[in-house]
């Protein structure tokens, strides 16, 4: 992410007659987050949208064996939402037999790729639609979960044990819109979705993987202007077309405890303003207006990608 440092006129030793664009690149990305469960009605839309824009992959079992009749890897990327609790042999997805431990599988993306999101779907009832697993990335073939050379991307625990979940979806994405990492192989290490007799695994019906969009994890702030008299400011954002951004302000480069997140926006002359966020135009540009005030000696701004979840 790019950061804009703004020295105010109240400190002559820091002030220049123009905004100083002191850009610094931070290496740390936001932590991967898993979206809440999605309603049944949103399953088809999200599945098809993600699948249309998704990456092709070749799946294979890493540990354990799939249950006969529930071993159709091709279903994971066909964009077809199956019926709830489909019967054996319907080819609706994959399922490991009760008690299988370890149980894991791998998606081969054919080349190292900056991962933007991983979306998993389950279409079943109670514990078998509880998505419970660890997800790893690797660039070495044949690794098992946790092997040297594999990197834990995140833990997934989406769904409940005490009700019929029907369709559950979990989307893994960086909370700042950045890449989850560059990997050829994604390894899914399934955990038991219940601890009782004959412990079960989730029945997985689709997995959609998308690449990180160029520019969305590293928007640039440019063309800053500031009026000392009333504290009004204008700044331009250069990012990716159609991407939603917000501005964040802090008094240091760590942004650990930002002063304002998001900064209230009063207008947009380029892009589309929606509340305190702006959607970049078709060229990836946005220009927004806001108030910085006049009391501070200096402050730091950055533009942050706002992840959009399908309702």
Reported as a pLDDT band with limits 50, 70 and 90, residue 175 is low
- How confident is the model over 124-158, as pLDDT tens digits? 766 777 788 999 999 999 999 999 999 999 988 87
pTM of the model: 0.59
Same fold for the pair 3-25+218-305 and 32-211: no
pLDDT tens string 158-169 = 765 554 546 777
For the chain, give the longest Cα–Cα distance. Answer: 76
Task: Give the CATH H-level superfamily of domain 32-211.
Answer: Galactose-binding domain-like (2.60.120.260)
Q: What are the domain boundaries of the chain?
A: 3-25+218-305, 32-211
Output the pLDDT for position 1.
42
| Per-residue pLDDT at 41 exceeds 70 | no
CA dist 38 and 168 (Å) reads 6
| 122 confidence band (pLDDT: 50, 70, 90) | confident
Q: What is the pLDDT of residue 292?
A: 85
Residue 172: pLDDT band (50, 70, 90) is: confident
What mean pLDDT value characterizes the chain?
A: 76
At residue 27, the pLDDT reads 24
pLDDT at 290 over 80: yes
Higher-confidence residue: 311 or 280? 280
What CATH number labels 3-25+218-305? 2.60.40
**pLDDT 10s digits, 200-257:** 888 888 888 888 865 444 688 888 888 888 889 999 998 887 888 999 888 777 777 7
Q: Please indicate whether residue 106 or residue 6 has the higher confidence score (pLDDT).
A: 106
3-state secondary structure the chain: CEEEEEECCCCCCCCCCCCCCCCCECCCCCCEEECCCCCHHHHHHHHHHHHHCCCCCEEEEEECCCCCCCECHHHHHCCCCCCCCCCCCCCCCECCCCCCCCEEEEEEEEEEEEEEEEEEEEEECHHHHCEEEEEEEECCCCCCCCCCCEEEEEEEEECCCCCCCEEEEEEEEECCCCCCCEEEEEEEEECCCCCCCCCCCCCEEEEEEEECCCCCCCCEEEEEEEECCCCEEEEEEECCCCCEEEEEEECCCCCCCCCECCCCEEEEEECEEECCEEECCCCCEEEEEEECCCCCCEEEEEEEECCCCCC
For residue 215, the model assigns a pLDDT of 45
Output 28 or 50, whichever has higher pLDDT: 50
Cα 133 to Cα 189: distance, rounded to the nearest angstrom: 5
User: 288 - beta bridge partners?
Assistant: 235, 268
48-98 pLDDT, tens digit per residue, is 444 444 788 999 999 999 999 889 998 888 777 666 666 666 678 899 998
Specify the pairing of strand 103-124 against strand 58-63.
antiparallel
| pLDDT above 90: residue 266 | yes
Cα–Cα dist 112/184, whole Å: 4
Greater confidence (244 vs 282) lies with: 244
Structure confidence at residue 85 (pLDDT) = 67
């Amino acid at each position: 992410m790019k950061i804009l440092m703004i020295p105010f006129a109240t400190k002559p030793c820091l002030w220049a007659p123009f905004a100083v664009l002191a850009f610094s690149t931070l290496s740390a990305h936001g932590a991967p987050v898993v979206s809440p469960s999605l309603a049944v009605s949103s399953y088809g839309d999200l599945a098809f949208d993600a699948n249309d824009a998704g990456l092709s992959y070749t799946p294979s079992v890493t540990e354990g064996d799939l249950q006969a009749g529930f071993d159709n890897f091709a279903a994971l990327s066909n964009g077809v939402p199956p019926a709830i609790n489909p019967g054996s042999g319907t080819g609706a997805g994959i399922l490991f037999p009760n008690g299988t431990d370890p149980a894991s599988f791998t998606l081969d993306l054919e080349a190292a790729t900056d991962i933007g999101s991983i979306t998993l779907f389950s279409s079943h009832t109670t514990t078998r639609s509880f998505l419970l697993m660890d997800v790893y990335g690797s660039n070495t073939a044949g690794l098992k979960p946790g092997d040297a050379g594999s990197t834990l991307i995140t833990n997934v625990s989406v769904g409940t044990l005490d009700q019929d979940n029907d369709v559950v979806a979990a989307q893994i994405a960086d909370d700042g819109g950045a890449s989850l990492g560059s990997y050829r192989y994604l390894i899914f290490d399934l955990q038991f979705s219940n601890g009782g007799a004959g412990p079960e695994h989730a029945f997985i019906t689709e997995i959609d993987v998308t690449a990180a969009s160029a520019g969305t994890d590293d928007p640039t702030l440019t063309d800053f202007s500031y009026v000392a008299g009333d504290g009004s400011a204008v700044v331009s954002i250069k990012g990716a077309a159609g991407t939603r951004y917000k501005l964040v302000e802090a008094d240091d480069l760590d942004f650990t405890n930002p002063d304002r997140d998001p900064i209230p926006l009063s207008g947009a002359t380029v892009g589309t303003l929606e509340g305190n966020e702006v959607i970049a135009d078709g060229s990836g540009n946005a220009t927004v207006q806001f108030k910085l005030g006049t009391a501070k000696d200096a402050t730091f701004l950055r533009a942050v990608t706002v992840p959009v979840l399908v309702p």
